[in-house]
Amino acid sequence: MRVSVKKSGGIAGLKVRAEIDSEQLSPKQEREMKDLVERADLFDQPAKPGGKSMPDQFQYEVTVEDQGKTHSFVTNEAAASDDLLELVDWLIAASKRKGS
Amino acid sequence: MSRSHSHSTDFPVCCIIPPVILRNLAEKGDDTQRDLAFHVLQVSAHLRGKREAIGSFAFAAAVSTGQKRRTIYDAQNRRVLPGKLVRGEGGPRSKDAMVNEAYDGSGKTYDFYQKVFGRNSIDDHGMRLDSTVHYGRRYMNAFWDGQQMVYGDGDGQIFERFTKCLDVIGHELTHGVTQYEADLVYEDQPGALNEHFSDVFGSLVKQYARKQKADKADWLIGKGLFAKGIKGVALRSMKAPGTAFNDPLIGKDDQPAHMKDFVKTSDDNGGVHINSGIPNKAFYELAIRLGGFAWERAGRIWYVTLRDRLRTDSEFQDCATATFDVARELYGADSVEQRAVRDAWDVVGIKVGQTSARKAKAAGVGRLVVNATRRR
């Protein structure tokens, strides 16, 4: 399973990217990631957020690939569930560990 | 993000309580009931786009004019709003720097709008200023959620706490002002204008608090917000967009300062924090041309434009044309101010009033007296 996220916006307007392939993780991290992905219902997310964007909140562009299926969507802080926000934070932290 | 249902401004409330009861509460309830009723009436009326429908009696009853009311909450590092109440208006100082900075900063922003433009709070009807600090864990942001200001702690490595800078607080509160006035949609050019007005008045709040003239101001947004070690002076520079930071960890400030460099992107709601550099630079150019205190003339032209002339879908050209028209109404056709507005937009590649100023003068259109109080 591969998940990529691009976070943009916020008052600073900075961009952060992360892309994680579960096959390259330790077994423990792989379980963590799959659990987070499942709770965040990635494949069921609408392509665009329903509500308006609120000023200075973050925007997330997410792509998930698993067993030949791919789904991409854009969401933001106002629309995203806590589980999805947790997954995004986890992916960015994992990407930083990978990079350092 | 979730919002606790105990909060008095929770949206579901506005759908449950019949308007007649709200009006009664606004007129006859105790202080808390009146606050609640007033707020719900106004928010729901605003959402319907019919502010007049509420009737002025409710406002008169619910709020005394010119009163500053601040409330600070602590999210205790969770993502739940508004959090625990930690300081109300007139309450003692906290041991927590963020609580005091949010309190003092929103107070200075209120004072700026009230003293310079005669505006009574975010909605011009005395709306309570709610702020939540310690939102999320090491959260690197501040935002306006449609009802209140929200500040994160920063991670200490890239960002310090987000209450640290007065212009950032002024920026967030101004998003509220914009929501109640032009209500610029938060994407593409209207979104970049929404950001622009927040930077303009955020910077002016800081200049006003410091009694700084235009040529002495730094024209930076969020100076001191970056943690030590990050190569950058601030989030943005209105004087020189694109030069505020350049760091291996966070990248380079990519704000344009001219229409030829306008950035087309789907990131950040269409680059709202990027393309705001263009009107930001135009405002700086105007302020420098006029000299003196930037809030007095440049700020007034921009305030009247935001309040009376823009719509939800206004773009850069609409804004430029509107400021040119407002400058004529406030200071006269072909006045120093109106010519400076035209020249300032010209610097960033936006043309206004090529012939209209001369035509107006030829037609004998004189100076109209328009003050900054609401004409309604």
A86 touches chain B (CB under 8 A): no
pLDDT for B13 equals 37
B51-98 pLDDT per residue, tens: 333 433 344 344 455 689 999 999 999 999 999 999 999 999 999 999
B66-164 under CATH 3.40.50.450, yes or no:
no
Higher pLDDT, B40 or A83: A83
Check: CB of residue B325 under 8 Å from CB of residue B345.
Answer: no
**Spatial contact of B133 and B141, defined as CB atoms under 8 Å apart:** no
Contact A56, B141 (CB under 8 A): yes
Q: What pLDDT score was predicted for residue B359?
A: 52
Taking 3-state DSSP, the helix, strand and coil percentages for chain A, each rounded to the nearest 5, stand at 35, 30, 30
Strand partners, A5: A18, A62
Reported ipTM = 0.94
Interface test with A, best of B4, B138, B141 (most A CBs within 10 A): B141
- Give SS3 for B348: coil
Using a CB-CB distance cutoff of 8 angstroms, which residues of chain B are in contact with residue A74? Answer: 266
User: A33 is in which domain, residue-wise?
Assistant: 2-99
Nearest CA in chain A to B178: A55
B186 to chain A, closest Cα gap in Å: 6
The CA distances from residue A19 to A42, A64, B106, B234, in Å, are 15, 10, 39, 29
Instruction: Quote the pLDDT of residue B3.
Output: 57
A59 touching chain B per CB within 8 A = yes
pLDDT in tens, B186-198: 999 999 999 999 9
B306 Cβ neighbours under 8 A, 6+ residues apart:
B177, B178, B181, B182, B197
A:B CB pairs within 8 Å: 87
Cβ–Cβ under 8 Å, residues B283 and B217:
no
How many domains does chain A divide into?
Answer: 1
In chain B, % of residues over pLDDT 70: 77
Q: What is the third-level CATH fold of B188-362?
A: Neutral Protease; domain 2 (1.10.390)
* Residue numbers in B near A61 (CB within 8 A): 266-267
Q: What is the pTM of this model?
A: 0.84
Chain B residue nearest residue A52, CA to CA = B186
User: Mean per-residue pLDDT for B212-229?
Assistant: 98
The domains spanning B66-164 and B188-362 adopt the same CATH topology: no
Chain A closest-CA separation from residue B193 CA (Å): 12
Which positions of B are annotated as active-site residues?
A: 172, 273
The residues spanned by each domain of chain B are: 1-62, 66-164, 188-362
Q: Which among B169, B175, B167 has a CA at the least distance from the CA of B193?
A: B175
Q: Does A75 touch chain B (CB under 8 A)?
A: no
Q: Do B268 and A54 touch (CB under 8 A)?
A: no
Q: Encode A70-95 in three state secondary structure.
A: EEEEEEECCCCCHHHHHHHHHHHHHH
pLDDT value of residue A50: 83
When the pLDDT of each residue in chain B is averaged and rounded to a whole number, the result is 85
Per-residue pLDDT averaged across B298-303, rounded? Answer: 98
Model confidence at B258: pLDDT above 60: yes
